[in-house]
Structure 1
Amino acid sequence: MRICLSLSLLLTLFLATAAHADDRPNIVLIMLDDLGFSDLGCYCGEIDTPNIDKLAAGGLRFTSFYNCARCCPTRAALLTGLYPHQVGLIRNGRSLTKNGVTIAEALQQAGYQTAMAGKWHLSQTNPIDGRQKQLDWLNHQSNFDREFAPLDTYPIDRGFQRHFGPIWGVVDYFDPFSLVNGTEIVKEVPDDFYMTDAIGDKAVEYIEEMSKQDAPFFMYVAHTAPHWPLHAKPEDIAKYQDKYAAGWHQLRDARYDRMVEAGLIDPLTFPKPALQGEGPDWNALSTEEKQHMAQLMAVHAAMVDCVDQSVGRVVQALKNTGRYDNTLILVMSDNGASPERYLNPGFDRPNETREGKPIQYEGIFNPGSEETWGYIGSYWASAGNTPFRYWKAQSFEGGAHTPMIAHWPSGLKAKPGSTTDQQGHVIDVMPTCLELAGASYPTTYDSHPITPVEGKSLAPIFQDQTREGHPQLYFEHEGGKAVIADGWKVVQPRQGGPWELYHLEEDRTETKNLASEQPERLANMKKQWQAWFDRVKPAN
């Protein structure tokens, strides 16, 4: 009996020691939605983001990091390490296919706990026949038990052991459509509900739950903000009430000048491009119109501010649970600021609140509440993406460039507060997570053959080393095309037209189109792009 007890005790001690010896890092991936490249304070924006700025001050900022220029494609590439076309997202709003494995699926196999709080947007939605029936559903006025998409496409079926958030991509921040807890439909929310706060609170709850176990965790915090509609809490809006009264040209100039002064950009290689936009420019607006436009940008800023407050609570939860030092936190955006303005209800845009109050889309109104559906529009988006040109959905730098911050107190060897111009892409996040977790990329998963990963680990950059990057990076979204290779970039606008050629090493902001001067280079890079697209596009 004594020998059996001793062996039992030894076994218990061995298992406990083995569990505590798992020093692999936790990974917290924080995604913002439609964030301008220079919106954050640490990227020289005027929005109050002290918590994210602290992560940057103690971590590493990337100045040449890319996404896929729009919500769904970026999220698909981020989670799988593959180009979006390879996993079903050749167009927005489709389901993530099973020939790719998600980070959550791969890390769960390696012993990680997994959780997600926030926007999924990787399930093909289930619309209802008939416009009014669709609107009634969006308005929370009928079909309360109807699933928002096939359940086997939900995060809970793609490796996340916990998930709370919207399945669709667009939400009323005060009363969101398609909100689920796992697979359970959340039919009603409290009167004081606000989506950004709820995502942050749920992330904190998950950290506290998972920290009770010895196993490390992977958590994906996918904010809906600052994606339209422009909804924010009055106390957050009040901070920015007069911030944007001087207009978008002043905002672009001020951000650009701060970037130069901070050494974030070199004006020789980042020449300031002309501000772009559609419709009347600032000086052509009436006083009333200027006030309205300034208020739209104030709400956008308030939404970013609220995300930062959420990040602060997540960081504090990591500290409270003793997980902070060995947690890699990544902060980024799915695309540049958005120029979109849909001025009527539709597929994912309600026309009434749950109580039947009409939602205003057009005209002069006071934005911020759920009875309005506002957008910042193209001029503010252009200023928000300073120093780059264009915006969301375009493959120009302003659409496909993201701020990216890496923070990891016990693992990051780069100088705290430093920047790196080494190129990266969201497809690199998957292999980075695998390397840090000591996990392998599977060839099959759940009986499905898995497409070989396209990304490359960022770990050498975290170790303050120079990594062998991508020989080429490719982009395509609904007609917007680009390839970057050897310091050059060819790009075709989303709306079609001639291809353009830029020497990024000398012109990072794409101000000098050299297509007519170097037709051979242009032709060769177009061939490169076509060969890539033929390789990654779906067979059907």
Structure 2
Amino acid sequence: MQKLRHSSLAIAFSLLFSLAVQAAERPNIVVIMVDDLGFSDLGCFGGEINTPNIDSLASGGLRFTSFYNCARCCPTRAALLTGLYPHQVGLMRNGNSLTRNGVTIAEALGAAGYQTAMSGKWHLSRTQALPDHQKQLDWLNHQSQPDRTFSPVDSYPINRGFQRHFGPIWGVVNYFDPFSLVDGETPVDEVPDDFYMTDAITQKSVEYIREMSKSEAPFFLYVAHTAPHWPLHAKPEDIAKYKETYRDGWHKLRNDRYQRQVEMGLIDPNTYPKPELQGQGDDWGALDEATRKHMSQLMSVHAAMVDCVDQGVGQIIDTLKETGELENTLILVLADNGASPERYLQPGFDRPNETRAGKPIQYEGLFTPGSETTWGYIGSYWASAGNTPFRYWKAQSFEGGAHTPMIAHWPAGLKTKPGSTTDQPGHVIDVLPTFLELAAAEYPQTFKQNKITPVEGLSLAPILSGQQRAGHPALFFEHEGGKAMIADGWKLVQPKQNGQWELYHLAQDRTETNNLAATEPERLAQMKRQWQAWFNRVKP
């Protein structure tokens, strides 16, 4: 009865909020997605990286401390854009096209009279390498152009509801000379000498805002950054800011970030016990001085990439102010997954072996990272520290893989105290229904003659209006063997690496440090059955 009462109240608040939106001017909406961002990379989530512009959105808005993604690039983007679990729209695995049984935010808002634009990484179109390895490398290196498109053109953003799009179709890019870059359907074959992907995404976003603000119709802008996803490429002036920042290693970084999070009131050490740092290979104390220098340089480039994203957010904020649009623009900032431990040490598929000019790209050794002739990664220890206070990283369904910082900023519509936080759980599947409610738009049963799967997400509007929402009875996760379910303050999780189910009482152990599988066999079995029933329902 209590649960039903809360549900009825949430529906009532949501209805009132929706009616208020219809009576007032519908908001512009800007989503800023950051790629492979550590949970604690941003200053407003405990990081030392200089992110004053994103921090300003947090200080004037609302931070979500229990918001989830799908732990990897493609699945998260599919879920965010459709309000469905990725398995339901073709993205159970990376590298497929978004299917037509889901409607994108851009398609739904466009049908409701919104202007729509996207700047940045798509990664929701089928990606296939050429059968000949050397021809694939030549293609990646911009040294040949095969008689084919990067992916099926009908799956490009411009054909999934976005009236404007500039950015790469594939998921990995040389930041100084990206592969699969398009403007609409047209390949961008050459870029200026001073090109840098993050800056280009920002510049195009600013251009789109200026264009769309000339119209009376509201707009939806999706800013999908490639940074700080590997390869570690950044501008020298940004790298220089962090030259000495990481010389004391990943343990100090973890400890410093954890302490700041406690001091900021983001976490309670009683319910967020600090877990051991995880990693693969030699720990900091076992490295020689030259390797330590190299490893600290890698993290410095990662920080520089995040810093550059923040500079771009500042330009977007300034443009919204200049055009008079900031007051009634809802801005969300979030990440597609946690920091990444990935290290691919050979070229191939989406990794070139040479620059356009034929200079070899170095993947291994103690090189100085940052330029397009190097292909660096932060690796597992830095990723673990980057996801403080959580365990694990990208692609895992532990909190460090599937937990994203999220910020909502909306001066005209947000009813929470500026700078406040909410621990109410949310998921990227909730983004589409939220936007449709704020735009007074309907979720269609059919779209362009395609039957649309009923939405899985729930609107975040009650939270934005300062209310408690009923939320999801359960949230589910699965990606390449990493599985999880969250319900009633408990989390069932299966690591990718060993297949053994684990059980954590998140209400008391948010950082998953005490596995209770052996002492709660009935709960474990029940949650496993629930997870399997969900998976059987959503899998293709």
Query: The TM-score by the shorter chain falls in which range?
Result: over 0.9
- Which residue among 312, 319, 324 is the counterpart of 1:317? 319
How far did 1:427 drift?
0.2
1:129 is displaced (CA, Å) by 1.4
What is the aligned partner in structure 2 of residue 222 from structure 1?
A: 224
Provide the residue aligned with 1:347 in structure 2: 349
Give the conservation status (yes or no) of the 8 Å contact 2:100–2:450.
yes
Q: Secondary structure at the match of 1:74?
A: helix
CA–CA distance in structure 1, aligned partners of residues 325 and 23 of structure 2: 14
* Aligned-residue offset at 1:495: 2.2
**Which whole-Å CA distance do the structure 1 matches of 2:497 and 2:182 have between them?**
36
Q: CA deviation at 1:352?
A: 0.2
Q: Structure 2 counterpart of 1:24, which letter?
A: R
The yes-or-no answer on 1:269 pairing with 2:271 is: yes
Query: Please, which moves more after superposition, 448-457 or 491-500?
Result: 491-500
Q: CA deviation at 1:497?
A: 2.3
> Whole-Å Cα distance in 1 between the matches of residues 95 and 131 of structure 2?
17
Partner in structure 1 of residue 535 of structure 2: 533
Aligned equivalents of 2:199, 2:455: Cα separation in 1: 34
Counterparts in 2 of 1:474 and 1:21: CA distance versus 1, 3 Å: closer
Other-structure match for 1:13: none
Aligned counterparts, 1:23-62, within 5 A: 23-62=25-64
Q: Secondary structure at the match of 2:292?
A: helix
Cα distance change, pair 83–260 in 1 and its aligned pair in 2 (3 A): same
CA contact (8 A) 1:22 1:216 kept: no
What is residue 306 of structure 2 aligned with on the other side?
Answer: 304
TM-score, with structure 2 as normaliser: 0.95
Please, which of 454, 457, 472 is the counterpart of residue 455 of structure 1? 457
Shift of 1:22: 7.0
Per the alignment, residue 94 of structure 2 pairs with 92
- State whether residues 331 and 406 of structure 1, in contact with CA within 8 Å, keep that contact through their aligned partners in structure 2: yes
Measured in 2, the distance between the counterparts of 1:180 and 1:378 equals 32
Q: Which has the larger radius of gyration?
A: 1
Q: Which residue of 2 aligns with 1:477?
A: 479
From 443, 450, 455, the equivalent of 1:441 is 443
1:163 is aligned, of 145, 165, 175, to 165
Stretch moving more, 119-128 or 167-176: 119-128
Q: Which residue of 1 aligns with 2:114?
A: 112
CA distance, structure 2, for counterparts of residue 103 and residue 47 of structure 1? 31
Any stretches of 5+ residues in structure 1 without a counterpart? 1-19
C-alpha distance in 1 between matches for 2:342 and 2:201: 24
Cα separation, 2, equivalents of 1:181 and 1:316: 24
SS, match of residue 358 in structure 1: coil
One-letter amino acid matched to 1:207: I
Q: Whole-Å Cα distance in 2 between the matches of residues 125 and 187 of structure 1?
A: 18
Task: Note if contact 1:145-1:185 (Cα within 8 Å) is conserved in structure 2.
Answer: no
- How many residues are matched? 519
Change (3 A) 1:286 1:469: same
Aligned-partner Cα distance in 1 for 2:279–2:23: 55
> What SS class does the counterpart of residue 504 from structure 2 fall into?
strand
Cα deviations across residues 198-240 of structure 1 (Å, max 9, x unaligned)?
0000000000000010000000000000000000000000000
Deviation at 1:33, TM superposition (A): 0.1
Paired AA for residue 151 in structure 2: A
- The answer to whether the 8 Å contact 1:292/1:366 transfers is yes
Q: What is the CA-CA distance between 1:125 and the residue it aligns to?
A: 1.4
**Equivalent position amino acid for 2:320 in 1:** L
Which secondary structure state, in structure 2, belongs to the residue aligned with residue 172 of structure 1? coil
Q: Find the aligned partners of 1:385 and 1:264 in 2 and give their Cα distance.
A: 14
Gaps of 5+ in 2: 1-21
- Matched residue, 2:390: 388
**C-alpha root-mean-square deviation of aligned residues, in Å?**
1.0
- Confirm or deny: 8 A CA contact 1:480 1:496 kept in the other structure: no
Letter aligned with residue 192 of structure 2 = P
* Aligned partners of 1:207 and 1:318 also within 8 Å: yes
Displacement after TM superposition at 1:510 (Å): 0.0
Moved more, 235-244 or 488-497: 488-497
* Identity within the alignment, %: 77
CA shift digits 1:489-510 (9 cap, x unpaired): 0100012321000000000000
